[in-house]
Structure 1
Amino acid sequence: MDFSRYDNFFLLLRIALGCPGASAGAFPRLSAEEWKRIYDEADRQTLLGLAFDGVMKLPQELRPPMELMFQWASEAESFNGLNKILNQEAAKLTEFFKGHGRGCAVLKGQANARLYPNPLCRQPGDIDIWVSGGKKSVVGLLRETGMQESQKASPHHTHMKNDRGIDVEVHFRTSSGNYNPFTTRRLLKYLDREILNSVEVPEGFCAHSMKFALAMQLSHIYRHFIGGGVGLRQIVDYYVLLRHSSESDRHELKANLNSFGLRKIAGALMWLLRESFGLDESLMLCKPDEFRGRWLLREILQGGNFGRHVGGGRLKWLYWWLGKRKKSLSYWRFDLAETFWAEVDYWKVFVENTSTRIRLRKISLRDVKF
């Protein structure tokens, strides 16, 4: 895959993030067609808000055509307002759960957004919030208060009602972990301890510690990569985390990469962040791995956000399914153990959900919310 055609797109993101060596004055003059391609890729990767921040740092004569500027500015402004709403809702959720004697912490999304150069530019999604007490207790609380949206909960989260239409996932596990149950056990033991160091931030909600974020989100990236696709927004999040981390934060994760089963994805990510965002060696968790890094970048650029833009068109479901299984098994060259356990997990869930498929008369449960 020719990565060079994405050079201007990545340069725009580096300018937006204030990456060392990224000069707005050095950005090339682009045609309307080239700008449209950058806009479309930013849209695919859910990075329109961040990319627009980069556009606004360019000299006037290097910016996109006026029509595209208006469209882009409108999108960016909507993200600005939505981030404010999600911050308000995250603060209300924190107050709600604390009022019921629970510890809680907002995970990923809004906890990451506050660390960006422009905290309101990150394209938001849902709100993920961890709540103490375990599955039975947390689900019981939501049912007692009439706040549980669905009667069925996944092994690590359930959905909560929200009167503003925001998707809220309430987590009773600190992470879904890796596919490998042995490395996951060690990872969760660490995360369960580290989540207790969450602190209230100026936005009004509790956020996890940097040590927690580095470990949990690296595992999150890995699970999505092996399980179907990861987006560039999650990669940018991790770059921002590393920029805000201390030597002590990074040292602790470095020492546990093998134990947590994250060495291979860390090497891939360090290569990608160095090549695409100019990550300084002093901020790296391990030696960059070019083979796996190119693989990771290729999957991201082909798949879009969480792999949602992989082609398929009108292929029949069985053909899609066989292709999916073949692709999943191809990851053995990236990490044999993780690929094996991912396949075990797939078939375990497949069998467990047989009764649900029969009840809903659906072969695929991809769009079913639990």
Structure 2
Amino acid sequence: MKSTILIVLMGTAVFAGTAEQAKLGELLFFDTTLSKNKTQSCSTCHNPQNGFVDNRDNGVRGAVSLGDDGKSLGARNAPTASYAVYSPHFGFDAKKKRFKGGQFLDGRETDLTAQAGGPPMNPIEMGMGSKAEIVNRLKINPLYVSTFEKLYGKGVLDNAEKGYSAMSRAIAAYESTQEFSPFDSKYDRYLRGEYTLTPQEELGKSLFFSNNNTNCATCHQLRGEDREKETFSNYEYHNIGVPSNPLLVERGIVKEGFVDTGLAQNPKSTGKTDEGKFKVPTLRNVAVTGPYMHNGIFKDLRTVVMFYDKYNNPQRTINPETGKAWGDAEIAHSISTKELKAKKLSDTKIDALVAFMKLLTDQKYEHLIH
């Protein structure tokens, strides 16, 4: 009997696969032959040693990722693949009148399987020309041929569409394993009675979940305070007024005046009201997966908290990373002002919130915290 991977989120199955499919997916995840010049695999931009993000400098302080051709750079920061399987399928929440879930920062792919099939054919990522070209690369490897046929049916790689779909499903199966979502951080151990919070961490936890002080948990909570397997995202889309990243302009990656409209680029978008909105990211491993925001503009986690505080604290006017005033919002008309409203924070409280978020680091990455 095959062991099955079944991920259930709030009573809804998000992904199901087998352990054998996951083992095949692991091989594919690290296989550079899936890129045009055979220099890049999924793991290049989602390094399992660094929280499943791109930890390369890429000449832009890690803000965006370098493609297989050695010169192309995207305009967005690669999100972590950690806990990505827990994002529900993309859809519209009629009750809240908001889009929710999906994969990529704009939710353009409904689920993890569809996401896994994107990068190999993206011209500025892995750069392959067609599904047939990729499947032909797979067919060169006898192990792939026999394994794909065993798991997905005889001759599956003789059909480009079926072969590509099977490849994407296998990668998604691997990304759905415990390796990506171990839930073994100090916070998880605290919930199991295996770790005692420091006074600073306790303060940070209280602030994080308190609607009377901060609004963190409004967007970065799904199950509830002290609930097991909390992913620290409600997977909604919001505009928090992030400025454009001048480094991307300096490097010629985007033109002066470029505006990333985020969710509005999703084919299912309702238009202008979605401009500037991006999916709320998980805070799992957030302390080791910088730089932050959709364009990688902020290097330090503490800066991110200060950026949020500027909306409520008249004294919080300077970006500590530049020594200058915070930049203007890339898109201002759709900022989630209600969700950003909170009490102003002291430096002590900011440090406490950062200390709490460091608790969300998987045990294998704790040595990366500084």
Using structure 2 for the length normalisation, give the TM-score.
Answer: 0.28
More helix by share: 1
Using structure 1 for the length normalisation, give the TM-score.
Answer: 0.28
